[in-house]
Amino acid sequence: MHEAAVAENLLQSIIAASTEHSDKKIVRVVISCGQINAINDEAMQFAFAAVAEDTICEGAILEIKHIPLKSQCRKCKLEFDFDFYSPTCPDCDSGDIAIGADAPLLLEEIEFEEDD
Ligand SMILES: [Zn+2]
């Protein structure tokens, strides 16, 4: 359960990134993250809603995109999205897999409320 710390950091990044629009409320936030340090969507949304209270993010919708982990079979060179539940090559079934770098947690998009 590291979602609370992640949510707090995320909130600080959002506030820092939105200083130009400081009087506007945020309605939607999109983040992406990788697979190894994957966050639980439900726990993250709950944690974010809690830290967002009384800030410009209060009530904002949080969308979480999970970026697949790229990997390549060392045997047949097939590139595919790594799956922790079946860690073998989908083509030749080899377990000799080179796993790429995990995607970091990124703030992708902030949507502000419209002017009246
Ligand atoms: Zn293969």
Q: Give 56-112 as a DSSP string.
A: TTTT-EEEEEEPPEEEEETTT--EEEE-TTS-S-TTT----EEE-PPPPPEEEEEEE
61-66/26-33 β-pairing: parallel
18: DSSP letter: T
Q: Domain 3-17+25-112: give its CATH architecture.
A: 2-Layer Sandwich (3.30)
Round to whole Å and give the CA distance between 92 and 115: 56
pLDDT at 22: 66
- Using the predicted structure, report yes or no on whether residue 116 has a pLDDT greater than 70: no
pLDDT at 1: 54
pLDDT at 36: 79
Sheet with 97-99: strands ordered across? 79-82, 69-73, 97-99
The 10s digit of each residue's pLDDT in 13-71 is: 999 988 877 678 999 999 999 987 778 999 999 999 999 999 999 999 999 999 999 99
The 10s digit of each residue's pLDDT in 68-115 is: 999 999 999 999 999 888 899 999 999 999 999 999 999 999 999 987
Ion ligand 1 — residues with CB under 5 Å? 73, 75-76, 78, 89, 91-92, 94
Ligand 1 midpoint to CA 84 (Å): 16
Q: Domain limits of the chain?
A: 3-17+25-112
pTM as predicted: 0.81
